[in-house]
């Protein structure tokens, strides 16, 4: 039975992890299916992806503890590598991916959310990296992405203590961009996605690439990455259409990704 579903509404793709019996925990099958689902997204017809978990209790309650419990050191590293490859694919996916966190985002769940461009969550969301309480480190990028997102001191405290934090604290420390009531979470996420999808697709993708690649290098190199992508925008029809519309005071221009 499939553990990941995909649907498309206009330019928005919705990927849902569907393993409610284990609070959407990530086993090998789920990781493989997330991977193939993203690989099959049509980038000509999709401009934003929302990634969420089924139900109202959990986004993803971590990597699957049953599957991990019997792994030896080599197998553990291989499992970590499998998750890392999938998460890196999401992080570097050409179009924005928004994590819609509808409950627990623990361990691998928090790490999955952090591999997305940004996160929105419901009021009942709980975030944490509880791995040290299970005798392991975060293994799907948590030690790296959490520190980059919320700063070294806060990340170290969360990881060393295994403390979980509620939605409002996640908002206060910048781990999530918005907190919504559970009932309106998906509707609000869709509104954000639609707003992004209305903008020039090439330019949005170029921004993602520039931000992602630039953040990992020094400013001199980073600014050159931006310059190159900025220049490429002037070869698109969307740049002509967008600027002409502004000058002619035309509202509601439709971009075609040319
Ligand atoms: N793995 C497997 N099964 C899980 C997981 C999980 N991570 N989380 C929940 N489940 C299962 C439970 O075992 C339970 O199954 P069953 O009904 O068959 O007993 C079912 O989901 C429902 O869970 P609970 O009954 O526990 O529900 P509660 O509401 O009482 O509690 C919690 C919810 C607090 C979320 C609780 O389930 C929990 O603490 N879960 C584990 C959270 C956790 O520790 N996550 C981190 C896992 S480690 C990790 O993610 C490492 C990532 C990097 C891996 C690198 C590998 C090398």
Any residues with Cβ below 6 Å from ligand 1, and which? 22-23, 25, 61-66, 68, 76, 79-80, 83, 104, 106-108, 130-131, 134, 138-140
Ligand 1 nearest atom to the CA of residue 133, by list position: 44
pTM above 0.95, yes or no: yes
Beta partners for residue 52, in sequence order? 16, 100
pLDDT tens per residue across span 87-124: 999 999 999 999 999 999 999 999 999 999 999 999 99
Ligand 1 centroid–CA 25 distance in Å is 7
- Mapping DSSP onto H, E and C, the string for 109-176 reads HHHHHHCCCEEEEECCCEEECCHHHHCCCCCCCHHHHHHHHHCHHHHHHHHHHCCEEEHHHHHHCCCC
Ligand 1 centroid–CA 186 distance in Å is 24
- Give the mean model confidence (pLDDT) for residues 150-167: 98
- Which residue among 58, 61, 77, 143 is best mutated to probe the pocket of ligand 1, counting the most ligand atoms within 8 A of its Cβ? 61
Ligand 1 centroid–CA 64 distance in Å is 7
* Nearest residue to 5 (alpha-carbon basis) of 77, 54, 78: 54
pLDDT of residue 1: 86
**pLDDT at residue 258 is higher than 70:** no
Task: Calculate the average pLDDT of the chain.
Answer: 97
Residue nearest to atom 2 of ligand 1 (CA): 64
Residue 50 pLDDT level (bands cut at 50, 70, 90): very high
* Nearest residue to 10 (alpha-carbon basis) of 244, 191, 216: 191
**pLDDT at residue 23 is higher than 60:** yes
pLDDT tens per residue across span 118-151: 999 999 999 999 999 999 999 999 999 999 999 9
Ligand 1 centroid–CA 203 distance in Å is 40
Residue 197 pLDDT level (bands cut at 50, 70, 90): very high
Q: Which residues are catalytic?
A: 111, 131
- Give the mean model confidence (pLDDT) for residues 207-220: 97
Query: Do the interacting molecules here have an ipTM over 0.95?
Result: yes
What are the tokens at 43? 């980038």
């Amino acid at each position: 039975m499939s553990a990941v579903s995909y649907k498309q509404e206009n330019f928005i793709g919705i990927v849902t992890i569907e393993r409610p019996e284990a609070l959407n925990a990530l086993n090998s099958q789920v990781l493989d299916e997330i991977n193939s689902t993203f690989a099959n997204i049509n980038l000509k017809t999709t401009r934003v992806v929302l990634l969420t978990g089924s139900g109202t209790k959990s986004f993803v309650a971590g990597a699957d503890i049953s599957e991990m419990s019997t792994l030896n050191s080599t197998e553990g590293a291989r499992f970590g590598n499998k998750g890392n490859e999938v998460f890196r694919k999401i992080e570097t996916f050409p179009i924005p991916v928004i994590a819609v966190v509808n409950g627990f985002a623990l361990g691998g769940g928090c790490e999955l959310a952090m591999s997305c461009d940004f996160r929105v969550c419901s009021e009942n969301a709980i975030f944490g990296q509880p791995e040290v309480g299970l005798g392991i480190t975060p293994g799907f990028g948590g030690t790296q992405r959490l520190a980059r997102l919320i700063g070294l001191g806060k990340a170290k405290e969360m990881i060393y203590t295994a403390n979980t934090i509620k939605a409002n604290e996640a908002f206060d420390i910048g781990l999530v961009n918005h907190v919504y009531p559970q009932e309106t979470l998906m509707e609000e996420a869709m509104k954000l996605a639609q707003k992004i999808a209305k903008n020039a697709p090439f330019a949005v993708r170029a921004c993602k690439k520039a931000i992602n690649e630039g953040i990992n290098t020094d400013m001199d190199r980073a600014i050159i990455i931006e310059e190159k992508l900025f220049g490429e925008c002037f070869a698109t029809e969307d740049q002509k259409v967008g600027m002409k519309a502004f000058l002619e005071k035309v509202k509601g221009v439709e971009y075609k990704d040319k």
